[in-house]
């Protein structure tokens, strides 16, 4: 069995909106006597749209109609009918995810792909997605090292730390290339973000709306932004100003950072070696910021990794659909299927060290990745589990999971646990018992997922013994 799927990815970011089409080659890699295992064996981006500035009606509202027109226009240019799309994803990132009508825009676009992963990414999730898009996790795994990816967009810088391929920490700072906007013709300043305005004022920097910008008069504020980035990765001690520029949280530097990669629009000018003729061609400070980063200790004291993607790192090529069948030892207390578009929170091996307190603490901390404006979204908790767990080990896992998922229980969100090893039936029953049999739970095994994946769980089949599962890994080039 070999099949081609056409998928679409749409990214609506703080500064830019873009779209790509990918062709995914799907194959059953199992032998004819085994349970089918359908995987994507190849993927190829067949069309990249122009990059558009994200249209806004006001500082609080996206122009949904214009976004729809951009998408329609690019479908026509690519000669793709929406009926041809078998899969796809739309993601709203950065400042745009905080706009009042972000969800309305997602609904407007939902007709443009067969089966969207409709996710309003908070800054933590965006950090993971961008880091994976840049390939930081692959380099970190292959070289058994620590890589921080800085995804520097128009409004924010998303940080993700990968240790031997695993996401360890995420953070976000209000540092970006369009926090000061200029008139492209006169080079007069037409916008300064509120936070930057305060920093400019407190440091007596001679910049204000209406003043003509030059490389020289922008240098003091650019130097401050670069210094804050150096502080964020541990190259300089954090000063008082640092906390002011943090969006939601920064990385705690639990691991020594050895390598750095850059993505986002500003990254093109971190990696750029040619002569720059027009520093203000985008009507912002992105080019100057990128060049200043290139000449800073970020690139001199850390090993610089070339990102696989820069501006397009966060574009979701599409939901790459890996259909699997769960293991046959599963627990579900109520037939509330299908369950769709659940983001995965995967615990690391260190989180799972047969200690309920470690499991509980890790879940509570990492649930913050899935909060948007402090509102927790639905999420599935994923663990590797043990191949032959003892009864006490099962009890430790069950207690850690139940206590860690306390916030999900309080908010009456579904409890879904995905286990790679064959232990879901006994684990699910132990959890159900700790919940006094009055909170529904789904616990399935035989499924390997990672952070950044989404999962759909279908109605039980084979006399209720297994469930079909679709894992939608965001496709990165």
Q: What is the C-alpha separation between 271 and 268, in angstroms, rounded?
A: 5
Report pLDDT for 320.
31
- C-alpha–C-alpha distance, residues 86 and 4, integer Å: 10
8 A C-beta contact, residue 350 and residue 384: no
Q: Which residues contact 420 (CB under 8 A, 6 or more apart)?
A: 382, 383, 384, 385, 445, 446, 447, 448
Which residues, 6+ apart, have CB-to-CB distance to 238 below 8 Å? 231
Half-sphere exposure of 190 (CA within 13 A, CB side): 11
Residues 6 or more apart from 161 whose CB is under 8 A from it? 146, 147, 148, 167, 168, 169, 170, 251, 255, 257
Strands 259-263 and 375-376: unpaired
Sketch the domain layout of the chain as residue ranges: 2-121, 136-304, 331-459
User: CB neighbours (10 Å) of residue 449?
Assistant: 23
Strands lying side by side in the sheet with 453-457: 319-325, 468-474, 453-457, 339-346, 380-383, 415-419, 441-445, 331-332
Which residue is listed with tokens 């279908």? 458
In this chain, the answer to whether the domains covering 2-121 and 136-304 adopt an identical fold is yes
Crossing angle of the two packed helices 391-404 and 424-434, in degrees rounded to 10: 60
Place of tokens 């996790």: 137
Topology of the domain comprising 2-121? Nucleotidyltransferase; domain 5 (3.30.420)
DSSP letter assigned to residue 95: G
The residue among 300, 313, 299 whose CA lies nearest residue 271 is 299
Q: How far apart are the first and last CA of the chain?
A: 24
445: nearest Cα among 338, 322, 349, 324: 324
**Interstrand relation of 331-332 and 339-346 (parallel, antiparallel or unpaired):** unpaired
Contact 117, 146 (CB under 8 A): no
Residue 92 half-sphere exposure toward CB, CA atoms < 13 A = 26
- Is the Cα torsion angle 28, 31, 35, 37 positive or negative in sign? negative
DSSP 106-150: HHHHGGGSSSEEEEE--HHHHHHHHHHHHTHHHHHHHTT-EEEEE
The tokens 């078998």 sit on which residue? 86
Q: Sign of torsion, CA 410 414 419 422?
A: positive
Place of tokens 């003043």: 211
Angstrom distance (rounded) from CA 138 to CA 331: 34
Q: Nearest 5°: phi and psi at 30?
A: -85, 160
Residue 384 φ/ψ, nearest 5 degrees: -75, -45
Q: Which of 49, 81, 3 is nearest to 311 (CA)?
A: 49
Name the architecture of domain 136-304: 2-Layer Sandwich (3.30)
CA-to-CA separations, 364 to 66, 168, 400, 407, 445, in angstroms, rounded: 39, 14, 10, 8, 22
Question: Cβ contacts of residue 77 below 8 Å, gap of 6+?
Answer: 49
pLDDT number for residue 349? 87
Tens of pLDDT, residue by residue, the chain (477 residues)? 566 777 777 888 878 888 888 877 766 666 665 544 545 667 778 898 998 988 988 877 888 889 889 988 999 999 988 778 766 667 777 777 777 777 777 766 766 554 444 455 566 777 887 888 888 989 999 999 999 999 998 889 999 999 999 889 999 999 999 999 999 889 999 999 999 999 999 999 999 999 999 999 999 999 999 999 999 999 999 999 999 999 888 999 888 999 999 998 899 999 999 999 999 999 999 999 999 999 999 999 999 999 987 776 555 323 333 335 555 566 777 777 778 778 899 998 888 877 889 999 999 999 988 877 777 788 999 999 988 889 999 999 999 999 999 999 988 888 999 999 888 889 999 999 999 888 889 998 888 888 878 887 776 765 566 666 766 554 332
Its pTM stands at: 0.70
Cα Rg for the chain, rounded, in angstroms?
23
Residue 321 near residue 5 (C-beta atoms within 8 A): yes
């Amino acid at each position: 069995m070999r099949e081609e799927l056409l998928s679409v990815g749409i990214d609506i970011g703080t500064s830019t909106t873009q779209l790509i089409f990918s062709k995914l080659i799907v194959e059953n890699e199992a032998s004819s006597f085994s349970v089918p295992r359908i995987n994507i064996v190849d993927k190829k981006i067949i069309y990249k749209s122009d990059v558009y500035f994200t249209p806004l009606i006001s500082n609080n509202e996206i122009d949904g109609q214009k976004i729809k027109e951009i998408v329609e226009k690019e479908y026509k240019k690519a000669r793709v009918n929406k009926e041809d799309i078998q899969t796809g994803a739309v993601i709203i990132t950065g400042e745009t995810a905080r706009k009042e009508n972000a969800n309305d825009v997602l609904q407007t676009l939902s007709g443009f792909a067969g089966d969207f992963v409709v996710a309003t990414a908070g800054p933590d999730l965006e950090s993971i997605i961008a880091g994976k898009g840049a390939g930081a996790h692959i380099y970190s795994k292959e070289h058994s090292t620590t890589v921080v990816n800085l995804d520097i967009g128009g409004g924010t810088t998303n940080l993700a730390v990968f240790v031997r391929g695993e996401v360890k920490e995420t953070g976000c700072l209000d540092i970006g290339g369009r926090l000061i906007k200029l008139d492209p013709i006169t080079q007069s300043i037409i916008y300064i973000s509120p936070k930057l305005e305060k920093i400019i004022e407190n440091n007596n920097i001679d910049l204000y709306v209406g003043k003509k910008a030059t490389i020289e008069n922008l240098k003091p504020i650019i130097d401050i932004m670069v210094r804050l980035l150096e502080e964020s990765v541990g190259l300089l001690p954090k000063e008082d100003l640092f906390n002011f520029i943090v969006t939601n949280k920064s990385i705690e530097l639990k691991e020594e950072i050895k390598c750095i990669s850059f993505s986002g629009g500003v990254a093109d000018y971190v990696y750029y070696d040619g002569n720059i003729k027009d520093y203000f061609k985008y009507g912002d400070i992105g080019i100057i910021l990128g060049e200043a980063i290139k000449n800073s200790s970020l690139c001199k004291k850390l090993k610089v990794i070339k990102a696989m993607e820069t501006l397009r790192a966060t574009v979701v090529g599409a939901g790459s659909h890996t259909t699997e069948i769960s293991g046959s030892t599963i627990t579900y207390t109520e037939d509330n299927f299908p369950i769709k578009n659940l983001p995965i929170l995967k615990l690391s091996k260190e989180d799972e060290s047969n200690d309920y307190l470690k499991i509980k603490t890790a879940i509570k901390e990492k649930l913050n990745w899935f909060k948007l404006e402090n509102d927790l979204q639905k999420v599935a908790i994923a663990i590797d589990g043990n191949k032959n767990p003892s009864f006490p080990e099962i009890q430790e896992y069950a207690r850690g999971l139940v206590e860690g998922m306390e916030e999900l229980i309080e908010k009456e969100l579904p409890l879904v646990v995905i286990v790679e090893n064959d232990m879901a039936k006994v684990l699910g029953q132990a959890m159900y018992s700790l919940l006094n049999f009055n909170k529904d739970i789904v616990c399935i095994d035989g499924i390997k997922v990672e952070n950044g994946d989404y999962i759909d769980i279908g109605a039980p089949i084979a006399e209720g013994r297994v469930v079909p599962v679709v894992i939608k890994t965001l496709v990165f080039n």
